[in-house]
Amino acid sequence: MLEKDVLVIGAGPAGLAASIEAGKYGASVLLVDLNMQPGGQLFKQIHKFFGSSAHRSGTRGYDIGKQLLKEAEESDVEIWMQSTVIGIFPGNKIAIEKGLDSGEKEMVTMQAKKIIIATGASENAIRFKGWTTPGVMGAGAAQTMINVNHVKPGQKIVMLGTGNVGLIVSYQLMQAGCDVVSLIEAAPKIGGYAVHAAKIRRAGVPIRLQHTIIEAKKGADGCVCGCVIAQVDEHFQPIPGTEETIACDTIALAAGLKPTMDLVKLAGCKLTFNGPFGGYIPLHNERMETSCEGVFVAGDTTGVEEANTALEEGKIAGISAAEDLGLLTADAASDKRAEIWDRLHSLRLGPFGERRMIEKEVVMDEYKERIGTPSPIQ
């Protein structure tokens, strides 16, 4: 059976950072991801990141992805793409459907001393009449189409949601040559950063606050030909008589994300419910270890945040795995983690970040109370 010191699942910013870190201290690392290319969402991010220079502000996500791939190569990380973990079993045995160069798949069973789960998050769906009509899609899906596959999802787009994803993807759709007709937001104010919203406003695209989509209209071809929006009251209920129809061929939904939890559940990690982080998430300690001994988590899987925080959490997971493998002394590991936690604190400042800092502490306190010491996968 194939054996590795560390198996990292998910090659986004968290998984790449974890792999690089563990590899750097001499661990043999296998990184698997079900997508065609590594990098997770990074290669879709053609805009410049915010934050401090320690967090590569002013750098495009795309370039951060390229840098991480180079570092992964330098750390001798083995990467399997189009490969999916389908099972995690006692004794840290893992079943992987491995993608071969021929395009075929092969079942591989392997054993890893440490497992790092960094499977990210998936987009929330919103239901309204006709939400399953072709042409209704997640904003992230639309972003993949334009920035990765270079295909326009449609010509006339309506975006639901004005968080940063809704704003950024709307602007990038315009850059790709789509006509963004309108942004619809149920709340009385724009959810994302003003700098992103200003770009939309300057382009003359209306942002309709206190409105929601109540229906996707289906055309003769069976696809979206428009949407019906309505004003909402303070309880977010549509107000009868305020309906308007907007012609469009695509409705993009930017309604937030939820952590991808299948493998965390499969390993038997103890969970907690956390609204701000997107729902049920794995309990973890400051070493990013779950209730299962030798199973670590990082990035959006631990609660939806951003690429920068995912990167830092990935590093912590990689360092902790290396420490438990005896590749790093406890003192050295704890110093390195302390430095990263300092950076995470500075990232989690401000109106958006601070709440997440508090919630992180809630999660780690609950870990102390309920778990204390992790136990092997059952």
Partner 1 sequence: MSAELTDDMIVCRCEEVTVGEIKEAIREGARDIVGVKRRTRAGMGLCQGRTCEKLVQQLLVQELGISPKEAGTSSARPPVRPVTFGELAKGEVL
CA separation, residue 54 to residues 312, 344, 374 (Å): 11, 11, 32
Q: How far is the CB of 235 from partner 1 (least distance, A)?
A: 8
HSE-CB of 118 using CA atoms within 13 angstroms: 37
The window from 253-261, 289-297, 332-340, 345-353 that contacts partner 1 (CB under 8 A) reads: 253-261
The DSSP code sequence of 151-204 is --S-SEEEEE--SHHHHHHHHHHHHTT-EEEEEEESSSS--S-HHHHHHHHHTT
**Residue from 45, 212, 285, 290 that binds partner 1 (CB under 8 A)?**
212
Find the shortest distance in angstroms from Cβ 248 to partner 1.
17
What is the phi/psi pair of residue 310, to 5°? Answer: -60, -45
Residue closer to partner 1 by CB (options 57, 237) is 237
Q: What is the closest distance, in whole angstroms, from the C-beta atom of residue 271 to partner 1 in the complex?
A: 7
Using CB under 8 A as the binding rule, the residues of this chain from 5 to 64 that contact partner 1 are 34
The Cα 285–Cα 302 span in angstroms is 11
Least separation in angstroms between residue 61's CB and partner 1 is 23
| Residue 323 Cα distances to 56, 111, 291, angstroms | 27, 19, 17
Closer residue to partner 1, CB minimum distance, 176 or 264? 264
Find out whether 169 and 148 touch, Cβ atoms under 8 Å: no
Nearest CB to partner 1, comparing residues 259 and 294? 259
Q: In this complex, which beta carbon is closest to partner 1, that of residue 34 or of residue 174? A: 34
| Minimal distance, residue 165 CB to partner 1, in Å | 16
Minimum CB separation of residue 196 from partner 1 in Å reads: 23
What one-letter code names the amino acid at 305? E
Contact 117, 9 (CB under 8 A): yes
Which residues are registered as beta bridge partners of 224? Answer: 218
In the stretch 101-120, what mask flags binding to partner 1 with x, by CB under 8 A? Answer: ----xxxxx-----------
> How many chain residues bind partner 1 (CB under 8 A)?
48
Rg of the chain over Cα atoms, rounded to whole angstroms, equals 22
Largest CA distance in the chain: 68
| 176 binds partner 1, rule: CB under 8 A | no
Which range, of 13-21, 36-44, 261-269, 359-367, touches partner 1 by CB under 8 A? 261-269
Among 60, 113, 129, 208, indicate the residue that binds partner 1 (CB under 8 A). Answer: 129
**Distance (Å, whole) CA 177 – CA 166:** 17
Q: Should residue 215 be labelled a site residue for partner 1 when binding is judged by CB under 8 A?
A: yes
Instruction: Give me the 309-348 binding string for partner 1, x by CB under 8 A, dash otherwise.
Output: ----------------------------------------
Q: Applying CB under 8 A, which of residues 1, 36, 151, 220 lies at the interface with partner 1?
A: 1
Determine the interface stretch with partner 1 among 50-58, 143-151, 233-241, 334-342 (rule: CB under 8 A).
233-241
* Cβ at position 324, least distance to partner 1 in Å: 24
Pairing of strands 224-231, 211-218: antiparallel
Residue 48 or 189: the one with the smaller Cβ distance to partner 1 is: 189
Tell me if 277 sits within 8 A of 258, measured CB to CB. no
Residue 81's SS3 state is coil
Query: Does residue 124 touch partner 1 according to CB under 8 A?
Result: yes
Picking from 260, 23, 289, the residue whose alpha carbon sits closest to that of residue 122 is: 260
- Alpha carbon separation from 56 to 87, 284, 340 (Å, rounded): 36, 27, 15
Which one, 65 or 238, has the nearer CB to partner 1?
Answer: 238
Interface pick for partner 1 out of 7, 16, 200, 232 (rule CB under 8 A): 232
Cβ(130)–Cβ(251) below 8 Å: no
* Distances, alpha carbon 275 to alpha carbons 244, 351, 359, in Å: 32, 16, 9
Identified binder of partner 1 from the candidate list 50, 62, 280, 352, rule CB under 8 A: 280
Which residues form the interface with partner 1 (CB under 8 A)? 1, 34, 84-89, 93, 95, 97, 105-109, 122, 124-129, 131-132, 186, 212-215, 230, 232, 236-238, 255, 258, 260-263, 265-266, 271, 273, 275, 279-280
